[in-house]
């Protein structure tokens, strides 16, 4: 009794693949050593820093800028006392990056759902034109400021894009 023929074929295939990969690794080591003898470290250094070209200025959406103006930035240490006084347990981690908050870090507390997020995390979220909390999907714009937000958004859009007029604003406003 022997192994089934299909099993033997798989063993041979795996053996061939493993031997091929080992041979390629051996060739890589020989080339690496040869380039080292020729004193060409730039050819063998995978972590060489190449300066990147200056990045193009990023265009933020109008709504992201307006929302960021409406949500204050605070230090985590400042808001933790407010949360404890209100009798609720403070969040320990940012739900976007999953890192724990530190006292000196800048955070934003969303007005409607009271979730706390790192400023960088929630700003990046809003720059993708998201207008809801990344955790519970509640509106990021405070409920009592939605009308003001829509008016400012319409005014900014009309001044930036007069050819679109109010049609552009209706698409991007809270209804």
pLDDT in tens, 68-124: 888 889 999 888 888 778 777 778 899 889 999 998 999 998 888 888 999 999 999
Higher pLDDT, 167 or 87: 87
Segment 126-165, tens digit of pLDDT: 888 888 999 999 998 888 888 888 888 888 766 665 555 4
pTM greater than 0.85 (yes/no): no
Query: What per-residue confidence (pLDDT) applies to 172?
Result: 46
Domain 62-172 in this protein, CATH class: alpha beta
C-alpha span between 66 and 147 (Å, rounded): 13
> Long-range contacts of range 56-65, CB-CB < 8 Å, 24 or more positions apart?
58/127, 60/127, 61/126, 61/127, 61/129, 62/153, 62/156, 62/157, 62/160, 62/172, 63/126, 63/129, 63/131, 63/153, 63/172, 64/123, 64/126, 64/127, 64/129
């Amino acid at each position: 009794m022997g192994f089934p023929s299909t099993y033997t074929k798989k063993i041979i295939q795996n053996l061939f693949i493993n031997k091929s990969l080992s041979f390629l690794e051996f060739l890589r080591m020989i080339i690496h050593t040869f380039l080292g003898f020729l004193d060409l470290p730039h050819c063998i250094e995978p972590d060489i820093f190449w300066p990147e070209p200056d990045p193009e200025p990023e265009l933020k959406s109008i709504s992201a800028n307006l929302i960021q103006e409406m949500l204050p930035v605070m230090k985590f240490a400042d808001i933790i006392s407010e949360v404890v006084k209100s009798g609720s347990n403070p969040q320990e981690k940012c739900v976007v990056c999953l890192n724990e908050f530190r006292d000196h870090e800048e955070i934003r507390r969303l007005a409607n759902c009271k979730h706390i997020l790192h400023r960088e995390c929630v700003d990046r979220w809003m720059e993708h034109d998201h207008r809801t909390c990344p955790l519970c999907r509640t509106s990021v714009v405070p409920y009592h400021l939605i009308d003001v937000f829509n008016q400012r958004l319409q005014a900014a859009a009309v001044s930036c894009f007069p050819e679109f007029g109010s049609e552009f604003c209706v698409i991007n406003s809270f209804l």
